[in-house]
Amino acid sequence: MHEAPLFFHISGIPPHVTYSWVAMIILLSVAVIVRTSLKIVPAGVQNFVEVVVEFFMNLAETSIGHMGKVFFPLIATLGMYIFVCNFLGLIPGFEAPTSNINMTASMAIPVFLATHYYGIKINGFGYIKHFVGPMRSIVALPLMILMFFIELIGHLARPLTLSVRLFGNMIAKHKILLILGFLAPWIVPTTILGLGVLVSIIQAFVFVLLTTLYLAGAVEEAH
């Protein structure tokens, strides 16, 4: 069910895939425009892009430390891509790709894999310390085993919570807009549309923030 008929639809391709391509085209177009018109004193689109990039860089370096620059491309790409996808859902005739669970899962699973890949790469076998808690001795072995399974379940749940949180908020916003559009076609949807912009920004930030915290926790040394 859509808020309005889709602006375009490619036969045989799900709408969330089509509009994810639209989001990628938008991001690539902005990148090309900024790249081909760089100025020493930024203005217009370049100024906006630099502010966004600096925000993600500061977030990565503040949360992850010296490894922030390594994860910056992943964090910035996810943040900008999710925001554009969310924002597309506010345009009549367009669909937010993030309102489909397959799309949000396709971003959450790589984050999950990257978290543990870098955790093992940087900490080696010591990465297991992240799962057994601070008490490590023969006496505390039963507690260590219990903590291991608790942490394991928590880590396995991360891609589920990341994907469902984003998907749930996006689909809920669409349904509310649709229902209120029937009740008050002009007044109420305009207000909800403004809130939709806020939700789009917040949900993109929450996804990126949690990704950053997961990566930071994986690469730090366990004590």
What's the rounded mean pLDDT across residues 58-87?
92
Higher per-residue confidence, 85 vs 90: 85
- Give, rounded to a whole angstrom, the gap between the first and last alpha carbons of the chain: 50
Whether residue 123 lies inside any domain: the answer is yes
What's the rounded mean pLDDT across residues 52-65?
92
Higher per-residue confidence, 142 vs 62: 62
Whether residue 215 lies inside any domain: the answer is yes
* 84 closest CA partner among 31, 7, 163, 13: 31
What pLDDT shows up at residue 216?
Answer: 92
Whether residue 162 lies inside any domain: the answer is yes
Torsion of CA 72, 75, 81, 83, to 10 degrees: -120
Its domain, for residue 38, covers: 15-219
Is the four-CA dihedral 161, 164, 169, 170 of positive or negative sign?
positive
What's the CA gap between 9 and 177, in Å, rounded? 21
Whether residue 203 lies inside any domain: the answer is yes
Q: How many domains does the chain have?
A: 1
Q: Could you tell me the pTM of the whole model?
A: 0.85
Whether residue 171 lies inside any domain: the answer is yes
Whether residue 79 lies inside any domain: the answer is yes
* 107 closest CA partner among 62, 65, 75, 66: 75
Question: CA separation (Å) from 53 to 31, 68, 73, 82, 140?
Answer: 12, 13, 10, 15, 46
What pLDDT shows up at residue 172?
Answer: 82
Whether residue 1 lies inside any domain: the answer is no
User: CB–CB of 59/48 below 8 Å?
Assistant: no
What's the CA gap between 46 and 184, in Å, rounded? 39
- Does position 45 have pLDDT exceeding 70, yes or no? yes
- Does position 213 have pLDDT exceeding 60, yes or no? yes
Residue range 181-198, pLDDT digits in tens = 676 666 656 677 777 788
Higher per-residue confidence, 126 vs 5: 126
Residue 217 has phi, psi (to 5 degrees) of -65, -30
Whether residue 205 lies inside any domain: the answer is yes
